[in-house]
Amino acid sequence: MTETRDIPELTRRGVLAGLGGTLLLAAMPVPVRADQPLVEEAIRTLFLDKPRAEGKITLTLPPLAETGNNVPIKVVVDSPMDGPQRPKRAVILAVLNPRAVVGEMIWGPGAAKAEFSTNMRLSGTQDVIVIAELADGTLWQTQTRVTVTVGACDTLSIRY
């Protein structure tokens, strides 16, 4: 008797079930989450499993960074500074960096605006995520892709 592989049968029922499944997935809202498991872990350590909504943050990053060594980043959280919605802190994460968390910035009582600028390092083209926590505990998130080019000079690891 000739041996036959176990081939799943392509029945009409199967095709309809498959199609239905795909449509169901498409209809579901895509959860707001980071791509890499390490980033997920970092976020969980900082914010537990609290839900994060998109919005409120204006993230200014250059679309193209020549070396990843000095990428200027500006974060503005659009939330009133008085009252329970005052931004408390913001965390910058780089999805593909060896360490996901780049920095944690905390606005104290003396801060006038929920805004800051700094320079960060990016190990390559990737998404930068900023998560802001307001005084009432709610979390807001935004994400931008930065293209980091590889210059010839960066590929040389030489003593000078």
Cβ at position 59, least distance to other proteins in Å: 15
CB-nearer residue toward other proteins: 2 or 155: 155
Cβ at position 154, least distance to other proteins in Å: 6
Phi, psi values for residue 14, rounded to 5°? -65, -40
Cβ at position 25, least distance to other proteins in Å: 34
CB-nearer residue toward other proteins: 23 or 154: 154
Q: Phi-psi category of 83—alpha, beta or left, where left has phi over 0 and alpha has psi -120 to 50?
A: left
Phi, psi values for residue 46, rounded to 5°? -80, -40
Binding site for other proteins (CB under 8 A): 62, 64-67, 69-72, 92, 94, 97-99, 101-113, 115-121, 149-160
CB-nearer residue toward other proteins: 4 or 155: 155
For residue 16, what is the DSSP state? H
Task: List Cβ neighbours of 23 (8 Å cut-off, separation of 6 or more).
Answer: none
Cβ at position 54, least distance to other proteins in Å: 23
**Residue 60 to residue 43: CA distance in whole angstroms:** 21
Cβ at position 93, least distance to other proteins in Å: 9
Of 59, 92, 82, whose CA–CA distance to 134 is shortest?
82
CB-nearer residue toward other proteins: 22 or 74: 74
The torsion of the CA quartet 10, 12, 13, 19, rounded to 10 degrees, works out to 90
The two structure tokens encoding residue 96: 């593909």
CB-nearer residue toward other proteins: 53 or 106: 106
